[in-house]
Chains A and B, each alone.
Chain A
């Protein structure tokens, strides 16, 4: 049986770079505007090639298995990675284990931050759709390995996006 879990669909070429996703995420999780504490961060290594960077919930969860203190678990319902802030020792093992180096430490230190899909109703996607951009929207995922590909480093994303946007000039701009 195919079990559908919520997933944040990315349409990178539609990202306007407005970072309303970062605002919405930090308002939800921190109660204030705090871009670096946001679970989704928009990288802009080259202007125009804005790349929202967030967890894709890999089918094999390498981050969860890398954690030496069992601070990471998977939510049964949503498939999101849940961080136990009490247990997390901010060792960074999960960051290294993630093929896209998606997690990062909370700016205050002491714990890692990873997208929890807002319990199944991700605020980042909500605001992006409301704003009419649709770079992030809510869909579903299966266990297909295609979804794992989205655990990608912003550098690699950028290398593709600049060519898509700027052609040969893009290659020149970001080797």
Chain B
């Protein structure tokens, strides 16, 4: 047995309904650990030789759903989904907090590999040692909250029927998609408990393409045995100490930044990044706190931090809207970036987006892009089927979200994500609109700007193997490995990795028995994962390919000087960024064209990746 793991991953072929087991060997797990790392290995092994030909929305794509050895042991349990991304055509490790990961581990599985496409809508149910593909035709079309309710009822009734003497059955952990995923909107999320999203990567659309509405897990087993149980109590005490130390620990959550990232830092998207500064106190945390929060501390399984809040609109036209927090990203993207600065309005848009299963960062970036085209008269009310997406109109923005999710009118084009929509609209209207698209390699950027030079680095997103993912940018010494760590062990990066990073490796020792160090991770294991991801991203296809010299760069808008605020006039200098890029390529083991070198790949034992990249070097 391998400590910390169940050692078993279910492989589900939706075309045939067949379920088999995959048992990763210890060497693979030591190298690739779990989550994002293991997903990368699995995807490359199975699709690497014909990567560029695999359409991410075809039955050929593979979706992975993986935990890691520390999931459930270290605070903040998350689940990591991956596959070939329909946005970047590369690999994205996309995680969300919640109870699903813990429930899955308690069934005796570490994860799932989902292949093929079902003829009719289905969901996957994982219980103790058992995986079933079940009919979901009654669930198809349901929005988020309805889906959760229906799944809870169905699964609890089923478990009761199967084991009536047990007593009451708790609800299962559920991953699901909303109507947007069903309609193959490219930047849709895989959702959990109403508002928790595996957002980056667009894997909601991959689930939709497989006719897979949901995956539910309910396990009754313990967490897998650990190698050194005697270390656990001490680590747990240290965790609590580090986690509970600050009396103001997440008093505000990340949601306080909806005001301050604009007002203090000039790094918040405002009206599709036309500005990054505002001083709109109406969106200040004190208003959320006193007007909307019904729970100041809301957590997922095993969390010691509770950076989430539960926010509700109690009165007015948006009465009944519910979301978490909203956290900073959604305050920015469903708020300031749409010109919305009031708490009820932000909560409304965030709720609509979540209910539809759109990704609150990515799809809302596309909404901001569309609203700017409306502002400039490039898109008209007619294109929007009568909706007027005027900055600040929360109701109209909610309708715009629905237009995209249902692929109606221009929504059908916007449903392809900001990059692909910009290409199509440029052609359709005969105007270059790519300059209004704020995205990196097909992935709409997180809500953290770079133009002041003091918030996010000038050269970060541009080199990320996960495009605009704000949680995965390389940092000096230029490497993205540190970001890949949390996604690979599948733990929350807001918790221990931030509060006490050395604890993570002590946990790895206690749980798996393996001696691993941060240094090894940065130089070998973590680095290997990033190089495979980079290779997949550059191979891309079939609809879009990235040219590093062209696309390892910031969007045009981020070279425009900030128009307002204390940092007015600041923007990165492009020549300087290009110089930085040269140096970064070398540090990252990439040649002058941005392609991982043979030397680097061979050193990491990635001869197959090297061979696959050969055509790009010619």
Least CB distance from A24 to B in Å reads 9
**Which residues of A have CB within 8 Å of B301?**
17-19
Instruction: Name the CB-closest residue of B to A24.
Output: B236
Among B214-266, those with CB < 8 Å from A are 219-223, 225-226, 229, 233, 236, 240, 244, 247, 249
Are A107 and B220 closer than 8 Å at their CB atoms? yes
Among A144-175, those with CB < 8 Å from B are 153-154, 165-169, 172-174
Among B274-307, those with CB < 8 Å from A are 294-295, 297-304, 306
Are B149 and A47 closer than 8 Å at their CB atoms? no
Name A36's contact: one of B171, B219, B249, B319 (CB within 8 Å): B219
Name B149's contact: one of A16, A26, A103, A174 (CB within 8 Å): A174
**Which residues of B have CB within 8 Å of A90?**
165
Name B193's contact: one of A13, A44, A112 (CB within 8 Å): A44
Name B165's contact: one of A14, A46, A92, A107 (CB within 8 Å): A92
**Which residues of A have CB within 8 Å of B236?**
27
Q: Which among A2-10, A67-75, A80-88, A130-138 touches the partner chain?
A: A130-138
Complex interface bits, A105-134 against B, C-beta within 8 A gives 1, otherwise 0: 101000010000000000000010011110
Name B171's contact: one of A43, A127, A173 (CB within 8 Å): A43
Given A45-B171, A105-B167, A36–B295 Cβ distance below 8 Å?
no
Are A107 and B221 closer than 8 Å at their CB atoms? yes
Are A48 and B295 closer than 8 Å at their CB atoms? yes
Given A48-B310, A105-B167, A166-B322, A131–B244 Cβ distance below 8 Å?
yes
CA distance A37 to B314 in the complex (A): 38
**Which residues of B have CB within 8 Å of A18?**
299-304, 306
Complex interface bits, B138-171 against A, C-beta within 8 A gives 1, otherwise 0: 0000000100110010000000000001111011
CA distance A35 to B221 in the complex (A): 8
Among A10-46, those with CB < 8 Å from B are 13-14, 16-20, 23, 26-27, 30-37, 41, 43-46
Least CB distance from B114 to A in Å reads 24
Instruction: Name the CB-closest residue of A to B219.
Output: A36
Among A39-62, those with CB < 8 Å from B are 41, 43-48, 53
A64 within 8 A of B: no
Name A132's contact: one of B193, B222, B244 (CB within 8 Å): B244
B312 within 8 A of A: yes
Instruction: Name the CB-closest residue of A to B303.
Output: A18
Instruction: Name the CB-closest residue of A to B226.
Output: A32
Are A19 and B222 closer than 8 Å at their CB atoms? no
User: In which size bucket is the chain B interface?
Assistant: 35 or more
CA distance A151 to B80 in the complex (A): 38
Least CB distance from A52 to B in Å reads 12
Among B25-78, those with CB < 8 Å from A are 72-73
**Which residues of A have CB within 8 Å of B249?**
132
Least CB distance from A125 to B in Å reads 15
Given A104-B166, A105-B165, A174-B149, A133–B220 Cβ distance below 8 Å?
no
Instruction: Name the CB-closest residue of B to A135.
Output: B297
**Which residues of A have CB within 8 Å of B149?**
46, 173-174
**Which residues of B have CB within 8 Å of A173?**
145, 149
Are A45 and B152 closer than 8 Å at their CB atoms? yes
Instruction: Name the CB-closest residue of B to A91.
Output: B165
Given A16-B297, A18-B303, A18-B304, A33–B194 Cβ distance below 8 Å?
no
Instruction: Name the CB-closest residue of A to B222.
Output: A34
Instruction: Name the CB-closest residue of A to B313.
Output: A169
Least CB distance from A114 to B in Å reads 10
Are A169 and B220 closer than 8 Å at their CB atoms? no
Instruction: Name the CB-closest residue of B to A168.
Output: B320
B410 within 8 A of A: no
Name B220's contact: one of A36, A43, A46, A167 (CB within 8 Å): A36
**Which residues of B have CB within 8 Å of A153?**
168
CA distance A45 to B155 in the complex (A): 12
B450 within 8 A of A: no
CA distance A164 to B448 in the complex (A): 36
CA distance A14 to B193 in the complex (A): 18
CA distance A56 to B117 in the complex (A): 49
Additional 7 contacts, C-beta under 8 A, given A34-B222, A45-B152? A17-B298, A19-B302, A23-B302, A44-B171, A167-B320, A172-B320, A173-B145
Lowest 9 CB-CB distances: which A-B pairs, in order? A104-B167, A169-B320, A107-B220, A18-B299, A34-B222, A36-B220, A16-B299, A16-B297, A47-B193
A-B contact pairs, 30 of them (CB 8 A): A14-B297, A16-B303, A16-B306, A17-B298, A17-B301, A19-B299, A30-B222, A32-B222, A32-B226, A33-B222, A34-B221, A36-B221, A43-B170, A44-B99, A44-B170, A45-B171, A47-B148, A47-B194, A48-B298, A91-B165, A92-B167, A95-B165, A104-B166, A112-B167, A131-B244, A132-B297, A133-B297, A165-B294, A166-B312, A174-B149
